[in-house]
Structure 1
Amino acid sequence: MDTDRLPGCYRHPDRDTGISCTRCERPICPECMISASVGFQCPECVREGSGTGHRPAANAPRTIAGGVVADDPHLVTKILIGINVAVFLAGLAAPAIVIQLELLGRYVEYFGAPVEGVSTGQYHRLLTSVFLHVEWWHIIGNMIGLWVIGGPLEAALGRARYLAVYLLSGLGGSVLVYLLTEPNTPTLGASGAVFGLLGATVVLARRLRYEMRPVIVMVVLMLVLTFVPFGGTLNVSWQAHVGGLITGALVGLGMLTPTAARHRALVQWGTCAVVFLLAAALIMLRTAELT
């Protein structure tokens, strides 16, 4: 018997956790933990303490990152998957959409017609490309990763903070692609954003004192799949993966660093602003180099 294993969440026994409810002391996972004045409480104890269950928004149960606990803790993840699938189907029906949304640093010619890129002012490509896929295996792989990694992270962060991690990670991946690849190389996919969620998950696991080995193994495995060409030519944008992973970890640090409640929102959204401004500065430097 493994005596070092952490107990499982009382609602999700397959999820090991080092956090317990401060009232009933039952082990709780990120999806179940609700921030209290001291530590975290389970949903049952919060309901018992709130009487009717209706309380002002200012006193609503909070996630570990300070977000409001939602009835559907995976709603944003579901919406993101829906958007990705909808854009994929639209691209199949009208391939011209792909040309207008994919990441291009500088114009290329499609069928004899020039298509402009980020360096000529089409900055939207840095983010729209994150929702774009052209191969069924590509979107299936990314959406499985988004569901498996993103669902628990959304429950831990709350909707707004989770969405900020996703979008900034996707942007961070695109920025590194823009900086390091040939400007006429088209790039697309949600992989950078998914890697960003993985980076934030590493921070979350560290914050909750989880066993780090499974998380580190997952990161290493995904990086191996990024850099090792199994059975053929490598056709993966490692720049997007690494850029997203680093960005997600940085934003995750801002979201999950223990901070006094009155300063928490300032630290969290200030971190997001700094990361965005850094990305914008790198974009401007690369644009100046290409023009």
Structure 2
Amino acid sequence: MFSRTENFSQYIRLYPVVTFLLALNIFIAALVYLPVIGNQIYVGGMGINWLIAEGEWWRLVTPMFLHAGFSHLLFNMFSLFIFGPELEKIAGKARFLTIYLLAGVFGNIATYFLQPLDYMSVGASGAIFGIFGAFGALVYYTKRILPQLRQIILPIIVIGIVMTFLQPNINATAHITGLIVGFLIGLSYFHPKRIVSWKKRKN
């Protein structure tokens, strides 16, 4: 289910939203390394709570497209590359993008309200955890139909939560909020009655 066997052109054609998000994050990461403008992009977009309180509301969105170094970018984009396609295929393009963006934005909103004013953060991890949360909702509805999905997703979610609290400099608020938001949206999207109505419309 999560093994990627497509070639480059097939991947782009089959998963356009995931491809766009991967390209956007990598492009912005490359811009950040440019002299002068890179620092302006990074500082101007990172989540800084006291600046949000001053009215810079775009910082509730832009942090999810910035990363604190190559390893941070690599981990998040690898997770998106592996797990994103299956969710885009199951949920559809618009619903997948909704899960991703809302999980990321609400993770940043929760960070603003629950962390001190001097708190600063970047990263797509809240959105990535939203993907895991949506799969958690799918597991909730299909635990008897797709036991293999449960065997894969639940350990990933547990490991992700544990690592969130073991590693330093991790925005645990965004991670947990993203997971919850993804799960709640997934409960709506993957409800059996809604899935039946989708199938009827397609037929």
TM-score (norm 2): 0.84
How far apart are the structure 1 equivalents of 2:194 and 2:45?
A: 41
Indicate if the aligned counterparts of 1:105 and 1:183 stay in contact, CA closer than 8 A: yes
Q: What is the Cα-based RMSD across aligned positions, in Å?
A: 2.0
Superposed displacement of residue 261, structure 1: 7.5
Indicate if the aligned counterparts of 1:192 and 1:243 stay in contact, CA closer than 8 A: yes
Matched ranges for 1:52-201 at <5 A: 72-93=13-34, 94-106=38-50, 117-201=51-135
Q: Which has the higher helix share?
A: 2
Superposed displacement of residue 238, structure 1: 0.5
Indicate if the aligned counterparts of 1:203 and 1:256 stay in contact, CA closer than 8 A: yes
Q: Which runs of 5+ in 1 are unaligned?
A: 1-14, 17-70, 107-116, 265-291
Superposed displacement of residue 207, structure 1: 2.9
Name the counterpart of 2:190: 256
Report the residue type matching 1:143 in the other structure.
Answer: M
Matched ranges for 1:182-261 at <5 A: 182-208=116-142, 209-211=145-147, 212-229=150-167, 234-259=168-193
How far apart are the structure 2 equivalents of 1:152 and 1:262?
A: 19
Superposed displacement of residue 75, structure 1: 1.1
How far apart are the structure 2 equivalents of 1:221 and 1:262?
A: 33
Superposed displacement of residue 263, structure 1: 7.5
Name the counterpart of 1:280: none
SS in 1 for 2:33: helix
Q: Which runs of 5+ in 2 are unaligned?
A: 3-11, 199-203
Indicate if the aligned counterparts of 1:149 and 1:201 stay in contact, CA closer than 8 A: no
TM-score (norm 1): 0.59
Indicate if the aligned counterparts of 1:73 and 1:154 stay in contact, CA closer than 8 A: no
Report the residue type matching 1:84 in the other structure.
Answer: N
Report the residue type matching 2:33 in the other structure.
Answer: L
State how many pairs are aligned.
182
Superposed displacement of residue 89, structure 1: 1.0
How far apart are the structure 1 equivalents of 2:84 and 2:172?
A: 20
Indicate if the aligned counterparts of 1:101 and 1:129 stay in contact, CA closer than 8 A: yes
Fraction of identical pairs, as percent: 30
Larger Rg: 1
Indicate if the aligned counterparts of 1:196 and 1:248 stay in contact, CA closer than 8 A: yes
Structure 1 residue ranges (4+ consecutive) displaced by more than 6 angstroms after TM superposition = 261-264
How far apart are the structure 1 equivalents of 2:126 and 2:99?
A: 11
How far apart are the structure 1 equivalents of 2:134 and 2:96?
A: 9
Report the residue type matching 1:105 in the other structure.
Answer: N
Report the residue type matching 2:93 in the other structure.
Answer: R
How far apart are the structure 2 equivalents of 1:161 and 1:260?
A: 13
Report the residue type matching 1:92 in the other structure.
Answer: Y
